[in-house]
């Protein structure tokens, strides 16, 4: 046994660092009592906008709602088709179905785990030829924190006049060149679920856009489609606001996000240098920067269970994101997809696993993890 005592994501270590300032922030909210869309929400929206370089940040109740609101504001309607990746968390496609639109899955690229732009374009062309409803939008996911290929995706979205939505739930802090995740496509959604790179202490999310008209619609939609006030209703919306207390917590978390990212990046580099011989590790073009929500490797087919067993025996947590691709979820059985439709996603579901990744992981523990995984 290796005496390992690591957590998959260590929120307790983070809390011990920011406890005083978080408690002070929460007390401030308890004192002023403005719990819904209070001043901390406005302050956080502005601070995150500044960090991301985005004109509008709109705090909402969770990441799923953020994506739903992005589609609603972008005019996606029942009967439309929305193209998305087969390899993501269920919420990515769930929001399409909630609107009554149809998810049209495409496969991911082997190297990036992200949606394949060439397949997106083929799908748009094929769907248009069949005349099966309007192709209204593309949702690209920055899986595990790594930005999708927006250089290609933005060109395709423009060429075919389709709304491009960025699912940045896992990528706060990621970037391509100087452009940060949350700032791609026409509109983006993110999540502040506690385990995400920028997390709160409950549910939370945000919509980001540089388009002021779209932002105005999202601000209305999150308060029951309000017009001049919430008793003047100009569209069907929902109740989806970021709590003031969560915004207060996020203000403190945002302060340390930069330093945390540096620590995550350095851990990821250490893992990659030391695991490259044994696994397929995440490699990125030099201008791409991941937020490292997860550090996920790919084992050779048929060997994953042995690695998971070995890690468990050494008391080291692991996780599988994701063991079942979206097109094979039983909720989508009526769409008629079959095993074999998206070979890359299906192969990843059988071979990937994620290992502890957080800014507070000690280097000696990372060395032990690497030693366990590399043992012959
Ligand atoms: C977490 C996540 C969501 C949903 O966010 P919630 O805040 O849990 O609703 C959506 N998409 C992806 C890729 C996610 O990882």
pLDDT digits (tens, 9 = 90+) for 237-283: 999 999 999 999 999 999 999 999 999 999 999 999 999 999 999 99
| Per-residue pLDDT band at 1 (split at 50, 70, 90) | low
CA distances from 235 to 71, 165, 225, 230 (A): 14, 21, 5, 11
Atom of ligand 1 nearest to the CA of 142: 13
State the Cα–Cα distance between residues 86 and 344, nearest whole angstrom: 9
Which atom belonging to ligand 1 lies closest to the Cα atom of 205? 7
pTM of the model: 0.98
263 CA to centre of ligand 1 in angstroms: 23
Identify the pLDDT of residue 3: 77
Cα-to-chain-centroid distance, residue 299: 23
DSSP code string of 216-274:
HHHHHHTBTTBSSSTTSB-S---B---BHHHHHHHHHHHHHHHHHHHHHHHHHHHHHHH
Instruction: Identify which of 201, 186, 322 has the alpha carbon closest to the alpha carbon of residue 252.
Output: 201
Give the gyration radius of the chain's Cα atoms.
21
294 lines ligand 1 (CB under 6 A): no
The token pair at 321 is: 């994101």
Q: pLDDT tens digit string along 294-335?
A: 999 999 999 999 999 999 999 999 999 999 999 999 999 999
Whether the CB of 141 sits within 6 Å of ligand 1: yes
- Concatenated DSSP letters for 150-209? HHHHHHHHHHTT-EEEEE-TT-TT-EETTEETTSSSSEEEEE--TTSSS--SS--EEEEE
Distances (CA, A) of 74 to 134, 135, 164, 196: 14, 13, 9, 25
Strand order in the sheet with 175-176: 179-180, 175-176, 288-289
Query: Does residue 91 have its Cβ closer than 6 Å to ligand 1?
Result: yes
- H or E segment to which residue 57 belongs: strand 56-60
Whole-number Å distance, alpha carbon 188 to ligand 1 midpoint, is: 12
Distance CA 336, CA 164 (A): 25
pLDDT in tens, 147-180: 999 999 999 999 999 999 999 999 999 999 999 9
Is the per-residue pLDDT at 129 higher than 70? yes
Closest CA to 72 of 93, 99, 101: 99
Report which protein residue has its CA nearest ligand 1's atom 7.
63
Bridge partners, residue 99, by sequence: none
- pLDDT number for residue 230: 84
Q: For residue 227, report the phi and psi dihedrals to the nearest 5 degrees.
A: -100, -110
Contacts of 10 (CB under 8 A, 6+ apart): 358, 360, 361
114 lines ligand 1 (CB under 6 A): no
Whole-number Cα distances in Å, 20 to 14, 17, 245, 249, 358: 12, 8, 15, 11, 21
Q: What is the DSSP letter of 275?
A: H
Q: Which tens digits make up the pLDDT trace of 3-36?
A: 788 999 999 999 999 999 999 999 999 999 999 9
Ligand 1 contact, 88 CB (< 6 A)? yes
């Amino acid at each position: 046994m290796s005496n390992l005592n690591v957590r998959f994501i260590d929120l307790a270590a983070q809390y011990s660092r920011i406890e005083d300032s978080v408690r002070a922030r929460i007390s401030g909210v308890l004192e002023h009592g403005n719990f819904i869309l209070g001043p901390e929400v406005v302050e956080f929206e502005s601070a995150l906008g500044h960090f991301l370089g985005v004109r509008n940040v709109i705090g909402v109740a969770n990441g799923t709602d953020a994506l739903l609101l992005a589609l609603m504001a972008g005019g996606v309607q029942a009967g439309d088709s929305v193209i998305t990746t087969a390899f993501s968390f269920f919420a990515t496609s769930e929001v399409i179905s909630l609107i009554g639109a149809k998810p049209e899955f495409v496969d991911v690229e082997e190297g990036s785990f992200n949606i394949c732009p060439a397949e997106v374009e083929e799908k748009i062309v094929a769907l248009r030829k069949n005349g099966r409803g309007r192709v209204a939008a593309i949702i690209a996911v920055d899986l595990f924190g790594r930005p999708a290929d927006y250089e290609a995706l933005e060109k395709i979205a423009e060429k075919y006049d389709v709304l491009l939505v960025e699912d940045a739930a896992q990528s706060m802090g990621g970037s391509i060149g100087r452009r940060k995740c949350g700032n791609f496509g026409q509109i983006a959604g993110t999540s502040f679920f506690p385990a995400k790179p920028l997390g709160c202490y409950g549910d939370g999310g945000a919509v980001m856009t540089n388009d002021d008209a779209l932002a105005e619609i999202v601000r209305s939609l999150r308060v029951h489609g309000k017009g001049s006030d919430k008793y003047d209703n100009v569209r069907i919306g929902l109740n989806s606001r970021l709590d003031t207390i969560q915004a207060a917590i996020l203000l403190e978390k945002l302060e340390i996000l930069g330093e945390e990212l540096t620590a995550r990046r350095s851990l990821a580099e250490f893992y990659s240098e030391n695991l490259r011989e044994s696994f397929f590790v995440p490699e990125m073009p030099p201008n791409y920067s991941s937020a490292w929500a997860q550090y996920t490797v790919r084992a050779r087919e048929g060997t994953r269970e042995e690695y998971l067993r070995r890690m468990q025996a050494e008391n080291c947590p692991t996780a599988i994101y994701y063991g079942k691709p979206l097109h094979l979820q039983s909720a989508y059985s009526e769409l008629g997809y079959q095993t074999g439709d998206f070979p890359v996603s299906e192969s990843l579901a059988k071979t990937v696993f994620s290992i502890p990744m957080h800014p507070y992981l000690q280097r000696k523990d990372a060395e032990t993890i690497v030693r366990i995984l590399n043992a012959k």
